[in-house]
Amino acid sequence: MTVLVALPVLLPLLAAALSLIVMRSPRMQRLIGVTVLTAIAVIAGVLLAESDKHGPVVLQLGGYAAPFGITLIADRLAALLLLTSALVTLAVLVFSIGQRITDYGRQTASTAFHPMYLMLCAGVSLAYLTGDLFNLFVAFEIMLASSYVLITRRTTAERVRASMTYVIVSLTSSLLFITMIALVYAATGTVNLAALPEKIGELDPGVQTSLGLFMVVVFGIKAALVPLHFWLPDSYPTAPAPITAVFAGLLTKVGVYALIRTQTLVFIHDESWTVLLVVAMLTMIIGVLGAIAQNDLNRMLSFLLVSHIGYMLFGLALFTVIGLAGVILYVVHHITVQAALFLTSGLITRHTGTVSLQAMSGVAKAYPLIAVLFALPALSLAGIPPFSGFVAKIALLQAGAAVGTPAAYAVTAAAVLTSLLTLFAVTKIWVGAFWGKVAEPHPDPDPTDEVTVGTGSTSKGMLVSTGGLVAVSVLIAVFAGPLADMSERAAADLLDGGAYRTAVLGEAGGE
The rounded distance, in Å, linking the Cα atoms of 57 and 100 is: 38
**Intervals of the chain under pLDDT 50:** 102-109, 444-455
pLDDT for the residue 444: 47
In single-letter form, the type of residue at position 394 comes to I
For residue 90, how many C-alpha atoms fall within 13 Å in the half-sphere facing its CB? 21
| H or E stretch at 39 | helix 26-54
pLDDT for the residue 240: 78
CB-based burial label for 14 (10 Å; 0-12, 13-18, 19+): middle
- From residue 489, alpha-carbon distances to 134, 183, 483, 484, 493 in Å are 27, 33, 10, 9, 6
pLDDT for the residue 439: 63
pLDDT for the residue 452: 46
Region for residue 296 given its phi and psi (left: phi exceeds 0; alpha: psi -120 to 50; beta: otherwise): beta
The answer to whether 329 and 477 have CB atoms below 8 angstroms apart is no
The answer to whether 90 and 41 have CB atoms below 8 angstroms apart is yes
The 10s digit of each residue's pLDDT in 428-464 is: 998 888 887 766 655 544 444 444 444 456 778 889 9
- Closest by alpha carbon to 77, among 253, 330, 218, 261? 261
pLDDT for the residue 111: 65
pLDDT for the residue 448: 40
pLDDT for the residue 231: 83
The rounded distance, in Å, linking the Cα atoms of 509 and 101 is: 48
The rounded distance, in Å, linking the Cα atoms of 501 and 294 is: 46
The 10s digit of each residue's pLDDT in 82-134 is: 999 999 999 999 998 887 654 433 344 456 888 999 999 999 999 999 999 99
- Closest by alpha carbon to 246, among 342, 347, 128? 342
pLDDT for the residue 110: 55
pLDDT for the residue 159: 67
In sequence order, the β-bridge partners of residue 71 are 60
The answer to whether 67 and 190 have CB atoms below 8 angstroms apart is yes
pLDDT for the residue 433: 82
| H or E stretch at 74 | strand 71-74
For 73, the 3-state DSSP assignment is strand
